[in-house]
């Protein structure tokens, strides 16, 4: 069972900007091999850190406006929000420890 949420333009403010916990956003696409590689790790973090970290998935093909707003140039791109502000960002199929390092000190 997936613990991550689908983030869209309609729920972005509520789910991300107003979240009481840090939010890790995964900008991805179904056709993206590296996105599929890190997908299980992202889902694992959603379960492991449930209640302390919110994990959101943004499909770049379906959410063009959110992708433009975040200046997404390559995928996967991970963006970490805390208190409504971007505090960390990384692109590429990173190893698990590098992804965890993006948010570990904030949860």
Annotation marks residue 50 as catalytic? no
Query: Using one digit for the tens of pLDDT, what is the confidence trace for 29-54?
Result: 999 999 999 999 999 999 999 999 99
Q: State phi, psi for 2 to the nearest 5 degrees.
A: -75, 135
Global confidence as pTM: 0.95
Annotation marks residue 54 as catalytic? no
The residue annotated as part of the active site, out of 23, 24, 35, 42, is 35
* Structural domain that includes position 26: 5-106
The residue annotated as part of the active site, out of 32, 60, 79, 99, is 32
- Give the total number of structural domains in the chain: 1
Q: How confident is the model at residue 22 (pLDDT cuts 50, 70, 90)?
A: very high
Q: Cβ distance 54 to 17 under 8 Å?
A: no
CATH number at residue 90: 3.40.30.10
Any alpha helices (H) in the chain, and if so which ranges? 12, 33-48, 64-69, 96-103
């Amino acid at each position: 069972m997936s613990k991550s949420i689908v983030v869209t333009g309609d729920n972005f403010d509520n789910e991300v900007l107003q979240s009481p916990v840090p939010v890790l956003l995964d900008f991805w696409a179904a056709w993206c091999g590296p996105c599929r590689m890190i997908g299980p790790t992202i889902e694992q973090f959603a379960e492991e850190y449930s209640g302390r970290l919110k994990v959101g998935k943004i499909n770049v093909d379906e959410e063009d406006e959110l992708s433009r707003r975040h200046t997404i140039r390559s995928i996967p791109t991970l963006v970490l929000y805390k208190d409504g502000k971007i505090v960390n960002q990384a692109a590429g199929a990173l190893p698990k420890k590098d992804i965890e390092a993006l948010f570990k000190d904030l949860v």
